Structure 1
Amino acid sequence: MELALELLAHLEHDELPLSAVVDRIETVTTDPALTREILDEADKRGVVDRESGRIRTRRGGAFVRFESQVVRREGDFECRRCGAGLSTGHFVRFDAGELGPFGPSCVRKVLGRE
């Protein structure tokens, strides 16, 4: 829960369709009930506003810093977003924990850089 909430707090876009936000939450969990709970909690805590199938962030400038918060590790990984095999995994460090591994393009998509 906390890892997903921190991910939502660090989205790069001010507004996204609900489907794009769910795509990002699914890097933490694919349980539909937990996804709804995460969205409810994010709204309750003031991380996001939900309106008509759109999510607006209220983060106050908390972007992920690639230089310090995205760590690359060599190994045998599977991307949490697309399932591709990876020899280099990209992990995002949050206070609540680490999210990953992701491939180079998926980490950018998850964080809203693409």
Structure 2
Amino acid sequence: MPDGTRSQTVELGVELLAHVEDDDLPLAEAMDRIETVTTDPALTREILDTAEVRGVIDREDARVSVRRTGAFVRFDAQVVERDGEFDCRRCGASISTGHFVRFEAGEVGPFGSSCVRKVLGRE
């Protein structure tokens, strides 16, 4: 993977963590959300380490505490729906409407309507 792609993936993962609506969650749930950006264990660790160094999260005893460094995702402005044939990045289900979350570093998705809410911590 080219370095530009690697660094963009890390930025997407950090932004995703910064915008999660849960203040505190088990490490497994944080990793579930990161896996929507990458399933590479080394990149997952790099995302967590980068987020911690930047003060986005704190990690302790298999828990992640999110510091409020960013605003919550605004569904009306940052979540875009597109019709087509997609597979949800979170659960793998076939979907006809994909929900994509826009961040400064890029876009994450597609997700089904319930999975996008779960990824962002709204369910």
Report the TM-score, using the length of structure 1 for normalisation. Answer: 0.97
Is contact 2:11-2:105 (8 Å) kept? yes
Which of 76, 80, 85 in structure 2 is aligned with 1:76?
Answer: 85
Aligned to 1:97: 106
Aligned to 2:24: 15
Tell me, yes or no, if structure 1 residue 55 matches structure 2 residue 64: yes
Structure 1 segments, 4+ long, off by >6 Å, are: none
CA distance in 1, matches of 2:114, 2:85: 17
CA distance in 1, matches of 2:70, 2:39: 27
Identity %: 73
What whole-Å deviation, never above 9, does each CA across 1:17-58 have from its counterpart, x for those lacking one? 000000000000001111111111110011100111110011
Q: Cα gap change, 1:67/1:88 in structure 2, threshold over 3 Å: closer, same or farther?
A: same
Tell me how far 1:59 sits from its aligned partner. 2.1
Q: Which runs of 5+ in 2 are unaligned?
A: 1-9
Is contact 2:18-2:70 (8 Å) kept? no
Report the TM-score, using the length of structure 2 for normalisation. Answer: 0.90
CA distance in 2, matches of 1:50, 1:62: 20
What count of residue pairs does the alignment treat as equivalent?
A: 114
Q: Cα gap change, 1:5/1:61 in structure 2, threshold over 3 Å: closer, same or farther?
A: closer
